[in-house]
A and B are shown apart, each in its own frame.
Chain A
Amino acid sequence: MGRKELGLLVLIVAVAAITAVLNPQFLSAVNLMNMANLIGLFGIFSIGQGLVIITGGIDLAVGSMLALLGVVFLDLVANQEVAWPVAALAVLAGGLAMGLAHGALVTRMGLQPFVVTLCGLLIYRGAARYYTGDSTISLGFADGLDTVTWLAAGRSFGVPHSFLALAVVALVMGVVLHRSVFGRYLFAVGRNEEATRYAGIQTGAVVTGAYVVAGLLAGVATVLLVFYTSSVSPSSFGSFYELYAIAAAVLGGCSLRGGEGSVLGIVLGTVLLQVLQNLVNILGIPSSLNFAVMGGVILLGAVADRHLVARRAARIRAPAGARTAPAE
């Protein structure tokens, strides 16, 4: 566990402790399970976001992707009576295709990730609303969905399945990011794309890979979210979720310049965001202040981190400067 993750963990524990003291309901089983469920749902696509950010990109489209994939999935299983595994595969394929499109536009056409995914945000939201005629689709009483409902929104030993899904995704992606060749390439591209290309690595494919993984994880999150809400309103479903994902990744130590971050950090970032959301509810703070509280804490965290980094750099620079500064 790095310095950043440790700092984040301390912050989470502190915020949780204060909240628990002010309102012991915070630690009730119901509340904890509720938070775990939300952490699971948000954590999955936040990890995808983190991967994209590590390559030096950004994914603004993920919230709208959830909406578009969500209405398609619900339409397939509730109205078209498609078997749910087929519909789930279709959603994954859709996420993959959108990720592939983002990656291709960024690496082949040389467009900026911000622009590409901003257009995605607008296009997918519009497509989702058009698809349903701007009306809400709900799961209703479609048959044959008991198994998948339990799989996606049920609990085992009291633990929400979405949280277990996040645990599996985090474990797999942790290995991919921190142990695999692909993960190393992601960091290398984020730190210095040109030098990575000079080392013979197809940097375009690596960056595209990050968007594809983000798309796939958005697909997974869609299926879980749909069974949690059991209906999808295309104009609001997943709205602002890209910002939750970016906030989680940045809180978790991903630098928007690329080349930095960890899966553990992103998960902890998600946890902190959900604890803050919960705190607003449980302490009776007007829910209109929800975003303001989150923004305030993130800002404080960034300021504190910047301060610590600067202090550490000054400590390192003094002796190292004497050794290496005269070199160039």
Chain B
Amino acid sequence: MAADSVEPLLALEEITKAYPGVVALDRVSLHLHAGEVLGLVGENGAGKSTLMKVLGGVVRPDAGRIRLHGREHPHLTVAEAGAEGIAFVHQELSVFDNLDVAANVLIGREPVRGGLLRLVDRAACRARVAPLLVRLGADFGPDARVDALSIAQRQLVEIARALSMEARIIILDEPTSSLTLSETDRLLAAVAALRAAGTGIIYISHRLGEIVACADRVTCLRDGRVVGHLAREEINHAAMTRLMIGRDLKSLYTPPARPPAAGGLAAEGIVTAAFPDRAVDLALRAGEILGLAGLVGAGRTSLARALFGIEPALAGTIRLDGDPVAIRAPRDAIRRGIYLVPEDRKRSGLVLDMTIAGNVSLPDLPRHARAGLIRGRSEIGAAEGQRRSLGIRAPSVSVLAATLSGGNQQKIALAKWLAMRPRAILLDEPTRGVDVGAKGEVYALMRGLADRGVAVLMISSDMEEVIGVSDRVAVMHEGRIAGILERAQVNEPNILRLATGQQPEDSVAGRAEAAGTGVEAA
């Protein structure tokens, strides 16, 4: 890309930020040229977010300089960052559900008419927003209501907002953590278009595949320090992983200790409200990890919610070890050892304002109670045991769940089920927002459960994860099981074909498809 002699768009020099007891950033330097994508990688806690907050003017560094377009600033304010054309697309979406797309994109900068009345000029809004949406390849118009859009579409709204501000530097912070494959591809295409137009982009992601696909250079942070830069030709998974965690990550896949057993959880003709005219059949064997891939909205979460009783199935039978079980509410599932770790950890998986112990014991409180009164020692002791065995990094189980990192929160969401003898566990996007190291621990936990005879279902949109962790992969497409891939057939092209409604090259999955139900007999 641009030669070093050219003045960079942005240069951070020796940025340092210390909090009592922690050095969040230790003399961090990096630069970004126009028309360049800089991949910023690092585990959670490495300092990426603090660095971005410095750029956004939210955090004021203790030392160091920020050079923007050749001008030097000791620090930025939020207003300066905006004026200098720095725009953020956050991992946590900041769109307004109750407004339409055009209003979201132009919020605070609406074209007005009517003189002193300052009426919003809706026609002008639409005219300004429509071309931006086209540029991003969005399949919705400026009039669409945001509450009707998927998370992926909302993300495009945020990017459109950045574009509308003529941003010269766009920072994408985990933009794809909830996107499907095709949506990710579309986003990467949008990134490529922005780069071609001369925008400088900082791309932060845990999904290394995307970094490989789009980054011109990579800067890696670890413990608040820059631990290495990679040039375009050096960017690959192994190199980035080595920098991030300081060691090589072995292949993710660990084979099961023994072949899957006879029993398990079976869905027969399950119909959900999302696809009232499609029936799903899926057999989940005890002792296996079954990956459930597919596009967001393919019906994977609806299936899991039906199996757990959050939104009971409209029709069909659920069998546990061959016996039909009636599941009309979560407690019906829980009573039988069928547990769900939901997709949205902060909303559904945890009570963030409760302690670790309170969260771990919540589904099993009566066991820690006598005559309706909670026995604190029993509750704390059990939670403490889980904290130690799962390696939850927290000073004690009496701290609020909200204070922990994503990976540790996810371990709590898992921990509450582990003490309750699971027979089938359904994990919906179990490593979303979880850093590389903690991901490995979650995978090990899943494998450990499977080896103890638990049937494990993993819904995931992360291709590396689906391929790397699953014993078999079921792929959903528009509300039905499009096919099931055995370990030997699990690869990206096969999953992709099934997920997009095509036939896999492989004959076995094809047969399952031809059988009409898409079910592999266990």
Contact = CB atoms under 8 A, between A and B. Distances in A.
A325 B403 CA distance: 9
B405 A200 contact: no
Contact of A180 (B23, B91, B348, B372): B372
Q: What are the nearest 6 A-B pairs in CB distance?
A: A322-B19, A327-B405, A200-B334, A322-B22, A199-B363, A326-B49
Interface string B23-47: 1100000000000000000001111
B49 A325 contact: yes
* Secondary structure class of chain A's binding surface, majority of residues: helix
Nearest to B438: A327
Category for how many chain A residues contact B: 20 to 34
Contact of B329 (A181, A202, A327): A202
A326 B403 CA distance: 12
B483 interface: no
A187 interface: yes
Interface string A149-180: 00000000000000000000000000100011
B403 A324 contact: yes
Contact of B352 (A180, A184, A192, A326): A192
A180 B18 CA distance: 43
A188 B350 CA distance: 10
Contacts of B300: none
A318 B353 contact: no
B416 interface: yes
Nearest to B17: A322
A185 B406 CA distance: 24
A194 B310 CA distance: 10
Interface string A189-220: 00110111111111000000000000000000
B347 interface: yes
B365 interface: yes
A113 B518 CA distance: 47
Nearest to B45: A326
A180 B329 CA distance: 23
Contact of A182 (B50, B372, B407): B372
A324 B53 CA distance: 13
B15 to A, nearest CB: 14
B21 interface: yes
A319 interface: yes
Nearest to B351: A192
Contacts of B347: 192, 194-195
B353 A322 contact: no
B348 A191 contact: no
Contact of A201 (B22, B331, B374): B331
B353 A192 contact: yes
Given A191-B351, A199-B363, A326-B49, 14 more contacts: A181-B366, A181-B374, A188-B362, A192-B351, A198-B348, A318-B20, A320-B403, A321-B19, A322-B17, A322-B19, A324-B45, A326-B45, A326-B50, A328-B433
6 contacts: A195-B350, A198-B348, A200-B330, A318-B19, A325-B53, A326-B44
Contacts of A199: 330, 362-363, 416
Nearest to B408: A327
Interface of A: 175, 179-182, 184-185, 187-188, 191-192, 194-202, 259, 318-328
Nearest to B52: A326
B82 interface: no
A187 B365 CA distance: 13
B92 interface: yes
Contact of B48 (A202, A319, A326): A326
B208 interface: no
B349 interface: yes
Contacts of A326: 24, 44-50
B358 interface: yes
Interface residues on B, range: 35 or more
Contacts of B340: 198
B45 A319 contact: no
A318 B59 CA distance: 11
B404 interface: yes
A187 B416 CA distance: 18
Contacts of B362: 184, 188, 196, 199, 201
A191 to B, nearest CB: 5
Contacts of B310: 197-198
B521 interface: no
A325 B47 CA distance: 9
A319 to B, nearest CB: 4
Main secondary structure, interface of B, reads: mixed
Nearest to A320: B403
A191 B44 CA distance: 26
A319 B350 contact: no
Nearest to B368: A181
B369 interface: yes
B50 A325 contact: yes
B91 A197 contact: no
B471 to A, nearest CB: 26
Nearest to A315: B20
A182 B353 CA distance: 18
B116 interface: no
B479 interface: no
B457 to A, nearest CB: 16
Given A181-B374, A327-B45, A195 B349 contact: yes
Which of A185, A191, A326 is most buried by chain B, counting CB atoms within 10 A of its CB?
A: A326
B45 A323 contact: yes
Contact of A188 (B17, B48, B334, B351): B351
B421 to A, nearest CB: 14
B182 to A, nearest CB: 25
B79 interface: no
Contacts of A327: 44-45, 49, 404-407, 435
Contacts of B19: 318-319, 321-323
B264 to A, nearest CB: 21
Given A200-B363, A328-B44, A191 B373 contact: no
B354 interface: yes
A179 B373 contact: yes
B200 interface: no
Interface string B340-362: 10100001111111100010001
Contacts of B369: 180-181
Contacts of B50: 321-322, 325-326
A188 B416 CA distance: 15
Contacts of A320: 403
B358 A188 contact: yes
B412 to A, nearest CB: 11
B92 A328 contact: yes
A198 B330 contact: yes
A328 B331 contact: no
Nearest to A316: B403
Given A194-B348, A198-B349, A187 B92 contact: no
Interface in B40-93: 44-50, 53, 91-92
A317 B449 CA distance: 37
A194 B92 CA distance: 19
A327 B410 CA distance: 12
B373 A175 contact: yes
Given A188-B362, A195-B347, A200-B331, A259 B353 contact: yes
Nearest to A327: B405
B331 A181 contact: no
A322 B46 CA distance: 10
A201 B358 CA distance: 14
Interface string B419-446: 0000000000000010100000000000
Contacts of B350: 192, 195
B405 A328 contact: yes
Nearest to B353: A191
